[in-house]
Structure 1
């Protein structure tokens, strides 16, 4: 039976949230977040997962003009659909429509079997929350992992 009701707290753990990350480019950000997922045993093959995320990046921009990027990889390396979040100390170049640098990155790791409706709803609710400038501003200002985690969970309720 597929669980249709998925909430953000089911797919985001505190250990996969980082604030004040220093990274030189988007690949470093993706590698760092992938390592967090790998350490949690969420992805089985980090290199394969990163390759799948970067292949998705080639298809079109995952960055938005409010300094947020939502890279994602649907990959056989993913054991369970989860997300990892990084707030960046310095903006990093990311492809967006207006070439805006990014300061908040939410990486989705999607298990092949989970392209189902529950996970799509979570992705959608996170995307909607990230369209709200006030929420984004709070996420950018969060001063701790716990604060950032709570802001995401509390602002993406379904």
Structure 2
């Protein structure tokens, strides 16, 4: 599973402006909606919030991987957001989050969904990968960085 096959420049937002976790999740859901990946912004946002209420998807090292499954999703999708200021995401390490990969999939069993989450988790463990993403100046350069590290 390659992130670059799912992630297109229009699904990358390098200047997230939200100041708290709920608003950044809303902003990321908006990226998926504007990209035509979900049918309803509000309904998918509710799914993401419900998932987040179970346990944080802030996995540490400045990374969050919020995700959700819903009938609102048209196909397995991925969006990337960068918050250069960092934000409190209630991460497991208590540190701010700078990089957010949001995964959306249709309801039901999907081995590709799990493979995608696994691939993201593997890549973000690399310090140089995270540092490179934070220096990306355009959506295309962020995508090129991902392709280089895959």
Q: TM-score, normalised by structure 1?
A: 0.88
Residue 64 of structure 1 contacts residue 100 of structure 1 at CA under 8 Å; is this kept in 2?
A: no
| Structure 1 residue 26 displacement after superposition | 1.5
Contact 2:84–2:134 at 8 Å: present in 1 too?
Answer: no
Unaligned ranges ≥5, structure 1: 1-5
- Quote the residue 2:127 is aligned against: 133
Show the counterpart of 1:99: 94
Q: Report the equivalent of 2:140.
A: 146
Cα distance in 2 between the residues matched to 1:112 and 1:155: 30
Shift of 1:83: 0.7
Larger deviation, residues 86-95 vs 43-52: 86-95
Which residue does the alignment assign to 2:73? Answer: 78
Count of aligned positions: 150
Would the aligned equivalents of 2:38 and 2:44 in 1 still touch at CA under 8 Å? Answer: yes
Per-residue deviation at 1:119?
3.1
**TM-score normalized by structure 2?**
0.92
Question: Over aligned residue pairs, what C-alpha RMSD do you find?
Answer: 1.4
Matched, 1:49 2:69: no
What is the CA deviation profile of residues 104-125 of structure 1, one whole-angstrom value per residue up to 9, with x for unaligned ones? 1111111124x32233222211
Unaligned 5+ segments in structure 2 are: none
